[in-house]
A and B are shown apart, each in its own frame.
Chain A
Amino acid sequence: MSDRSDLIVTGNTFVFDEERDAEFERLIKRYPTRESMILPALWLVQEQEGWISAEAMAYIADRIGTFAAKVYEAATFYTMYNLTPTGRYHICVCRTLSCWLREKQEIVDYLAKEVGVVPGKVSADGKFSLEEVECLGHCGTAPVVQVNGEFHEEMDVDKMKALLATLE
């Protein structure tokens, strides 16, 4: 894993919108300790903003009543939390064993060369971001690609092309 500890400070205050606020209050009742809300709350931020800023982490910490450093630890430990803004379409290509055996690299190379989006970066137009991720648990239908959380199985370059064509 590369360093994720350099947080983005936006200078703007963060608050949950009404829907997430209600969801936060609903979920916190499900746990005997408030700190159990650290992961769910980070998910709520990501759902709302697409990524998680330093301000959002501080907000969560204060709202839960815990140390910001603990939220910071969790946010940087769990790699699905985006700590930088993603493209409108965030593409995750599984890089692990079974997908690797079934030529995931061709898809990554295609995206880099033909679409101009390289792992860890957002494309110039802000439309795509690409991440090579570890096993997505779809080894039987490898290689697998996730776009904004939706799974696309048994992929190849042609199917990737067709998929991209459907994205606005």
Chain B
Amino acid sequence: MEVKILSEKFDIENAHLIEVAKEHGAYSTLDKLFSMEPTEVIDEVKKSGLRGRGGAGFPAGVKWGFLPKGLNKPIYLAVNSDESEPATFKDRYILVRDPHMMIEGIIICCWAIGCHDVYIYIRGEYTTQVKALQKAIDEAYEAGYLGEKVGGKDFRIDVTVHRGAGAYVCGEETALLESIEGKKGQPRSKPPFPAVEGLYGCPTIINNVQTIASLPFIMKNGADAYKAYGTEKSPGTHLFGISGHVAKPGMYELPLGLPLLEVIEKVAGGVWKGRKLKAVIPGGSSTPVLTAEQAKTVTLDYESMAQHGTMFGSGGIVVLDETVDVVKLVENLIHFYHHESCGQCTPCREGLGWMKKITQKLLAGEGTIADINLLRELCDNIEMKTVCVLSAACTMPVRSYLDKFRHEFEAYAIDNISAEVELQRN
């Protein structure tokens, strides 16, 4: 089932070194690139149907098209390498195993959008990865693929690596820009959108590492070759991260559109320890959970996920076996989002902490049915009332657990009569 487009060089020894990468085709698309008009490049990317791989899935070429024309301001590219959504760990492989594929992608993007200054925002936790990335960039400068004359062409590109320092919210594109500007990572209100007013008040494109790294393939083989993978509306491949209770967790490149259960079985070795499947988180911790029943019919693409009331997200699949205590899992989830709330908007700042404490109260055996109802109501009260979607990233999954596994919450409630009856019976 696996395919090797983005991950083509991942298993080649030392492919992170520029010499090795070049032997395997790195930077081979530049001649073709520079022979094309930037608009032609944008059209080709649009045609490929490449969708942003950060989680939102917005078509990359369309995003580029939002840049205003004829502005007398620099255009910036910010490469989002902040991947912080729990269960997401795909970009890291690109940064470490094939960074030159991403740098080549950066060159393609810069040519297409007329950008000369690039910031790669990498999450602070990627301590060893940032070193590897910087080394690759230094090599690219050395080899003339970055700097004043990229690939000998009279076209300048400077790439600067900017390290985050422990803030999930900086994966949100405007928080990321704030962070580069030296501020707290607090998302900006939109409009204006970054394509119009982004970094330092200038037009800015923010693309995920994987999105950028997909460009060399499209440039080399054409949009049609890319579209040959995946489904009509969700073309191409994706680096899926499969974690949790499976026998072979890991990162796998797969075309979009495969049946979820088949992937879990055939690619990830099935549920570990011979246990039964309880549920699946399909695209990172913020996506609503799928029951084992729902998992039977869903395929790994944007459309099928939407039909099942959830999202493709970042492609971070988490498998939950029958032993999982959903209430404890929800506490773990809310703990994360509460910890990561930027503290800007009232509902998210105050509400997530409240939700966490209510869940903890339940776990401590002090909660009531009313607390469960309150928890459920707070999901609605908080969601979509804020500048960004961080709080929704918490409330959407929590609501799904409450709705699909309510009995597990009720089992913790002290005024749960059926539980009491059960207790007496024993």
Contacts and interface: CB of A to CB of B under 8 A. Distances in A.
Interface string A108-138: 0000000000000000000000000111111
B329 to A, nearest CB: 8
A97 B86 CA distance: 6
Contacts of B88: 137, 139
Interface residues of B, number: 53
Interface in B8-59: none
Interface in B187-220: 200
A79 to B, nearest CB: 4
Given A36-B181, A42-B165, A98-B87, A141 B250 contact: yes
A76 to B, nearest CB: 9
Nearest to B320: A101
A97 B333 contact: yes
Given A74-B182, A101-B320, A81 B92 contact: no
A18 interface: no
Nearest to B85: A135
Given A98-B318, A140-B249, A39 B165 contact: yes
Given A98-B86, A139-B86, A140-B250, A150 B182 contact: no
Contacts of A102: 244-245
A73 B333 CA distance: 26
Interface residues of A, number: 43
B127 A149 contact: yes
Given A39-B182, A81-B165, A30 B285 contact: no
A146 B163 contact: no
Contacts of A70: 182-183
A102 to B, nearest CB: 7
Interface in B314-336: 316, 318, 320, 324, 329, 332-333, 335-336
B164 interface: yes
Contacts of B242: 140
B182 A140 contact: no
A14 interface: no
Enumerate the 5 nearest inter-chain pairs by beta-carbon distance, A residue then B residue, closest first. Answer: A80-B166, A78-B165, A38-B182, A149-B127, A35-B182
22 contacts: A33-B182, A39-B165, A39-B179, A43-B124, A66-B182, A78-B165, A78-B185, A79-B167, A80-B166, A95-B332, A97-B285, A98-B244, A98-B249, A133-B125, A134-B339, A137-B83, A137-B89, A138-B89, A139-B86, A139-B88, A142-B243, A149-B128
Given A77-B185, A100-B332, A134-B168, 5 more contacts: A33-B200, A39-B162, A81-B166, A134-B340, A139-B316
